[in-house]
């Protein structure tokens, strides 16, 4: 990624996270999607790393023997480009969201419609993995974002964006980290719109 483009992407991510925190901080703990945040890791050479996922739990056996599941190593010379899929058109608009730390990743979950009514898939949530879940030619990237969409037939479409960390962004340098105390304060002063009927 070019310097200007990566700065813009990082700025957009930070703005999205800050917007999400300010619009709908949810005090509930929602860990139903995560079995146990300590059961696996993305670190190579770890006893709980990707090469061992299939042996960690019997339900995860496909991670060892399956051919079409995450994580995927995309080999560029084997990729076939299909023109049948058409053009990806995105029309995301602001919507209320909740930021969740799920242990193994951070997720922003939208409450309501984030896309125009004439589009097939609606954005449900996006989450980040650090390092990346997927690899290209065996290379794991510093960060990966998944934008998870669903259509009216309950089918999913996921857009994955891989990131290389580069030199610091002047905008991001101005944004400090958000502490637990700051989040607690925000919960007291920001109206949680997710509880409104």
The CA–CA distances, whole Å, from 166 to 10, 68, 69 equal 10, 31, 29
Q: What pLDDT does residue 2 have?
A: 52
In this predicted structure, what is the pLDDT of residue 73? 86
Q: Which residues pair with 127 in a beta bridge?
A: 107, 146
Which three-class secondary structure state does DSSP give residue 141?
A: coil
Look at residue 13 and tell me whether its pLDDT is greater than 80.
no
Q: Which of 43-52, 86-95, 118-127, 184-193 has the highest mean pLDDT?
A: 43-52
pLDDT level of residue 139 (50, 70, 90 thresholds)? very high
Of 30, 52, 104, 127, which residue is the catalytic one?
104
pLDDT attached to residue 54: 87
Domains and CATH numbers, the chain: 3-30+70-81+92-195 (3.10.200.10)
Rg (CA), the chain: 18
- Alpha-helical (H) ranges within 62-179 are 62-65, 170-174
Note whether 84 and 144 are within 8 A (CB): no
Q: Which whole-number Å values give the CA distances from 43 to 20, 83, 132, 133, 162, in the listed order? A: 29, 35, 10, 10, 17
The C-alpha atoms of residue 12 and residue 184 are separated, in whole angstroms, by 24
pLDDT score for 51: 83
pTM above 0.75, yes or no: no
Q: Which residues touch 113 (CB under 8 Å, ≥6 apart)? A: 95, 122
Residue-wise pLDDT for 55-64, tens only, equals 999 888 888 8
Tens of pLDDT, residues 99-134: 777 776 677 787 765 544 444 788 888 888 888 889
Instruction: Dig out the tokens for 20 from the structure.
Output: 């999400």
The model's confidence at residue 165, banded by pLDDT at 50, 70 and 90, is: confident
Compare 158 and 91 and report the one with higher pLDDT: 158
Both tokens of residue 8?
A: 């813009």
Does residue 104 carry a catalytic annotation? yes
- Nearest Cα residue to 145 out of 130, 128, 158: 128
Across the chain, mean pLDDT equals 70
């Amino acid at each position: 990624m070019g310097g200007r483009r990566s700065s813009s992407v990082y700025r957009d991510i930070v703005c999205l996270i800050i917007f999400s925190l300010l619009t709908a901080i949810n005090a509930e703990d929602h860990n139903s999607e995560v079995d146990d945040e300590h059961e696996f890791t993305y670190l190579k050479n770890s006893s709980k790393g990707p090469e061992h996922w299939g042996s960690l739990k019997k339900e995860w056996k496909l991670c060892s023997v399956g051919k079409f599941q995450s994580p995927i190593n995309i080999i560029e010379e084997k990729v076939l480009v299909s023109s049948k899929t058409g053009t990806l058109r995105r029309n995301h608009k602001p919507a209320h969201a909740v930021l969740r730390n799920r242990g193994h990743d951070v997720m922003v979950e939208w409450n309501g419609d984030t896309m125009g009514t004439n589009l097939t898939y609606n954005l449900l949530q996006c989450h980040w993995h650090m390092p990346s879940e997927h690899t290209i030619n065996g290379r794991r990237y510093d960060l990966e974002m998944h934008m998870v969409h669903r259509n009216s037939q309950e089918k999913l479409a996921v857009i994955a964006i891989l990131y290389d960390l580069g030199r610091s962004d002047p905008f991001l340098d101005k944004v400090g980290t958000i502490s637990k105390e700051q989040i607690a304060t925000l919960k007291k002063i920001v109206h949680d719109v997710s509880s409104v009927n």
